[in-house]
Amino acid sequence: MRFFNTFSRNIEEFEPRVPAAGTVSMYTCGPTVYSRAHIGNFRAYIFEDLLQRHLELRRYKVHRVTNITDVDDKTIRGAREAKVPLAKFTEQFKEAFFEDADKLRIKRADEFPAATDRRYIDRMIDMIGELIARGLAYQADDKSVYFRIKKFPDYGRLAHFDLTQLQSTGRVKHDEYDKEHIGDFALWKAWDAEDGDVKWDSPWGPGRPGWHIECSAMSMTLLGDQIDIHCGGVDNIFPHHEAEIAQSEGVTGKKFVRYWLHCAHLLVDGQKMAKSLGNFYTVPDVLAKGYTGRELRYALLRVHYRVPLNFTWEGMNESRESLGRIDEWLGRLREIVKRGNAQRPTPNVQSSIQPDFESALDDDLNISAALGFLFESIRETNRAMDENKLDSASATAWLDWWNRINTVLDLEPETQVVVPQEVTQLTEEREKARCEKNWKRSDELRDRISALGWEVRDTKDGQKLTPRGAS
């Protein structure tokens, strides 16, 4: 398996830190819960979901942590404006995050640590103390504590930045003059009146942690000093992940992350989808337009994670069509298996299932190529089925293959249609009537089936049942 590592800017062979253990530790930066996440954020979570599921298909046991940033400038401002306590303000967006993630079938991480949990605040305070002791951090006149980037020679390596080019990041407090270097970032932000009752005691006075130290502390607490994979969107590379490396390695002296994977942005009209630009949609926005979570999952999944993806309604319709082709294909295969060869003797066409889908994912998660193979296979098998040349053993083999790749894709229809017993029985009776060319009875039975809410169509593959009203 190979991945593009942002750190080296190269495709690298994947080998976890402890290969024999068969486990992979994975940290993925989660939502900042100051508003409902938009589907751009979910592109990142879906890419991470694909990565986890593919690692699992390849038999790794993935230990995944996704943090919840529930204290930062934006959450504090939101709580203040809503005139509610911070925890109450963030709770609604945490819930919304899980609700939306479930709709998109994103597998839950093993842990979702929240930054305000006392356990992690203590760890953050410990780490900051350690960084000060090592000369890597200092308390400035404004009482905040900053990381001293000049003392960490590797600072800038992940982002491939020259220190002299550093600009202010916007996520630090505004009084830049207290800092030794414009690129020094806040580890601990001294309390001020705007923070209200959001504060924790520390050796440097009351305050709250900076955003970057939250992830270092939560990752190290739950996954140890060194982890295999760390992900996020490309906007996380600098300063967030660069700062995480400086903090974690500054404390331990050990390499923090083996593989850094970042996904390109979801765009709208060529621009990043972002709250600040107002060009965003949430999951409920998309569902309100009549699309399903599955369709949105597919739309966000189908393009290689390192390629920017433009969000359009046309793209949503294409996704719907692609899924329709998968559904129809699965329906035909299942039908053949159900009938068996006894009823439908066919020439024994060997299935030609290739391992291409999985090898494409081994190649830096090349989902576009993987889906290409899937649709090629669908075309081929459909042709064989059209010519009545696919036997039930082959159909079973294709379904088994689908079940395997679907552990990664998770694209089965929303609800499996369950046909009531009574309807099945009437359909069987109708089949018999048709064999006997008793058309009157056949029509009567059709009406009875219809009265029970089902539509029966006669196709060259036999009768097809659909719930009335469904297309």
Binding site for ligand AMP (CB under 6 A): 29, 31-32, 40-41, 43-44, 232-233, 235-236, 263, 265-266, 272-274
Q: Which does 140 bind (CB under 5 to 8 A by kind): ligand AMP, Zn ion, none?
A: none
Q: Which does 43 bind (CB under 5 to 8 A by kind): Zn ion, ligand AMP, none?
A: ligand AMP
Shortest distance in whole angstroms from residue 241 CB to Zn ion: 7
Q: Which does 303 bind (CB under 5 to 8 A by kind): ligand AMP, Zn ion, none?
A: none
DSSP symbols for 50-119: HHHHHHHHTT-EEEEEE-BB--SHHHHHHHHHHTS-HHHHHHHHHHHHHHHHHHTTPPPPSB--BTTSHH
Instruction: Name the residue with tokens 């939502």.
Output: 31
Q: Which is nearer to ligand AMP, 308 or 462 (CB)?
A: 308
Q: Which does 215 bind (CB under 5 to 8 A by kind): Zn ion, ligand AMP, none?
A: Zn ion
Shortest distance in whole angstroms from residue 273 CB to ligand AMP: 4
Q: Point out the residue whose Cβ comes nearest to ligand AMP.
A: 233
Q: Which is nearer to ligand AMP, 281 or 402 (CB)?
A: 281
Shortest distance in whole angstroms from residue 408 CB to ligand AMP: 20
DSSP symbols for 197-261: T--B--TT-SEEE-HHHHHHHHHHHHH-S-EEEEEEEGGGIIIIIHHHHHHHHHHH-S--EEEEE
Q: Which is nearer to ligand AMP, 272 or 332 (CB)?
A: 272
Q: Which does 337 bind (CB under 5 to 8 A by kind): ligand AMP, Zn ion, none?
A: none
Within 10 angstroms of residue 105's Cβ, the number of other Cβ atoms is 18
Q: Is beta strand 257-263 parallel, antiparallel or unpaired with respect to 462-467?
A: unpaired
The residue ranges that bind Zn ion (CB under 5 A) are 29, 215
Q: Which does 41 bind (CB under 5 to 8 A by kind): ligand AMP, Zn ion, none?
A: ligand AMP
HSE toward the beta carbon, residue 187, CA cutoff 13 A: 32
Shortest distance in whole angstroms from residue 264 CB to ligand AMP: 7
Q: Which is nearer to ligand AMP, 76 or 263 (CB)?
A: 263
Shortest distance in whole angstroms from residue 37 CB to ligand AMP: 6
Angle (CA) 128-18-31 rounded to 5° is 50
Q: Which is nearer to ligand AMP, 307 or 342 (CB)?
A: 307
Residue 139 in 3-state DSSP?
A: strand
Shortest distance in whole angstroms from residue 110 CB to ligand AMP: 18
Q: Which is nearer to Zn ion, 32 or 139 (CB)?
A: 32
CA distance 271 to 286: 19
Shortest distance in whole angstroms from residue 259 CB to Zn ion: 16
Q: Which is nearer to ligand AMP, 30 or 293 (CB)?
A: 30
* Nearest to 29, CA basis, from 200, 173, 244, 269: 244
Within 10 angstroms of residue 197's Cβ, the number of other Cβ atoms is 8
CA distance 87 to 331: 48
Q: Return left, alpha or beta for 118; rule: phi > 0 is left, psi -120 to 50 is alpha, else beta.
A: alpha
167 phi and psi, to 5 degrees?
Answer: -115, 165
Q: Which is nearer to ligand AMP, 25 or 41 (CB)?
A: 41
Shortest distance in whole angstroms from residue 263 CB to ligand AMP: 6
